[in-house]
Amino acid sequence: MSGFFDIPSDLQHSWLGLIGLHLREALLPVLFGLVCALPLAQLCVRFRWLYPPVLWVTTVLYAIPSLAFFVVLIDYTGQTELTVMIPLGVYSLVVLVPAIVDGVRSVPQETLAAATAMGFGPVRRYVQVQLPIAVPAIIAGLRIAVVSSVSLVSVGTLIGNQGALGNLLADAMFYHRPELAVNSVVTTAVLAIVLDALLVGLRVLLTPWMPSGARRKPKAATARPEPATLALEDAVK
């Protein structure tokens, strides 16, 4: 009888190894998303007309089921981690772009005018004023993107066992070991909760200037589609 943490050898990883893999597959796409979203959001702030089409495109991309994404990507990137991570990175944009745009826009007009009047150029103003003030909004967006990404990685099981902890779900069926499914679900959930808590901690660390108890959540981040719902939809598809 195998134990709760005994992982079938076909996965070629220990339980901790799977966690490491899962983290990589979940976090790299969000990092990539953030790197893309920062300049994209700044463009949207500078050129207001750009924001609605950008929002529209990211939402449409988000609506593409991950399986459909995989089918297209497999021709180019094969049955690899990259094939799983590209859709996840694209999905994170739908949360991150509006979070950053709203964060940067939330900087009061007087603050911007004061910065300009003190001789801040546009770059200095962005880096030293707008971005730091947008940190709470950006982290609120990151929290949703990270949690959603952690849950979505599991779909990778369907393309050659690239789902990290999700692979345990398939193995639970193959080997008739339901405890593997429980392990998969619980570990994934704990992973998501821990990452979320770490991000909250990071925000507290970065924003000693915020009144405690009055920390606001940007509206846009909460108005996005629920990641859990979409993960379910993907699983169904």
**Which stretches of the chain bind another protein, using CB under 8 A?**
108, 110-121, 129, 132-133, 135, 207-211
Cα separations in angstroms, 34 against 15, 37, 135, 149: 29, 5, 12, 13
Report which of 141, 51, 146 is spatially closest to residue 103, judged by C-alpha positions: 141
Cβ of residue 115: shortest distance to another protein, in angstroms? 8
Q: Which CB sits closer to another protein, 215 or 237?
A: 215
Cβ of residue 29: shortest distance to another protein, in angstroms? 29
Cβ of residue 132: shortest distance to another protein, in angstroms? 5
Q: Which CB sits closer to another protein, 114 or 182?
A: 114
d(CA 8, CA 219): 44
Within 10 Å of residue 128's Cβ, how many Cβ atoms? 12
Q: Which CB sits closer to another protein, 79 or 106?
A: 106
Q: Which CB sits closer to another protein, 18 or 129?
A: 129
Give the three-class secondary structure for 167: helix
Give the three-class secondary structure for 128: helix
Q: Which CB sits closer to another protein, 132 or 201?
A: 132
Cβ of residue 199: shortest distance to another protein, in angstroms? 18
Cα separations in angstroms, 179 against 150, 170, 173: 20, 12, 10
Cβ of residue 96: shortest distance to another protein, in angstroms? 20
